[in-house]
A = this chain, B = another copy of it.
Amino acid sequence: MGAPLVKATEVDSVSDAALRGFIGYHMKRAMAVLQADLNRVLKPFGLRMVTYSALVMVVENPGLRQAQLADALAIERPNLVVILDELEEAGLITRDKVPTDRRAYALNPTLKGRKLAERATAANRADEARLLGGMDDATRDLVIAAMNRIEGGQGGAQT
């Protein structure tokens, strides 16, 4: 019910002012929303974020090998295996033997995989546009540039 009756050992409203000074804090919270949203959009396609990313990469780079894909997506090889199992069982990609190296598999999208990737991408684009709520392109590019700077900025010293 609540008249604001202040008790010495309680707090009426919680402030996160100290954390709000960090970009990381905002990014983490935004990522949580974005990820939940994206997974909700992808669910009707039978995809999750990782499987979607992997599928799109295979569509865009047909013939690439698993190690290349793992490297590009920055995920460990063992973890990629189950992701590709999922895509393969869904009939979206194939693992084709490479004649020149019998250890390796070339990843290729099926027609079904290409079609699904296209539809899922359209849905994602629409959803992200909705989430950004009419952000102008200049701002959007600026945000992306900032993300790229953070991603590449482990060593720190470039300006």
Contacts and interface: CB of A to CB of B under 8 A. Distances in A.
Interface residues of A, number: 76
Nearest to A144: B26
A153 B125 contact: no
A79 interface: no
Nearest to A14: B72
Contacts of A116: none
Integer count of this chain's copies in the complex: 2
Contacts of A131: 150, 153-154, 156
Interface of A: 7-11, 14-19, 21-35, 37-38, 49, 53, 56-57, 59-65, 68-69, 71-72, 74, 96, 98-100, 106, 121, 124-125, 128, 130-135, 139-140, 142-144, 146-151, 153-154, 156-159
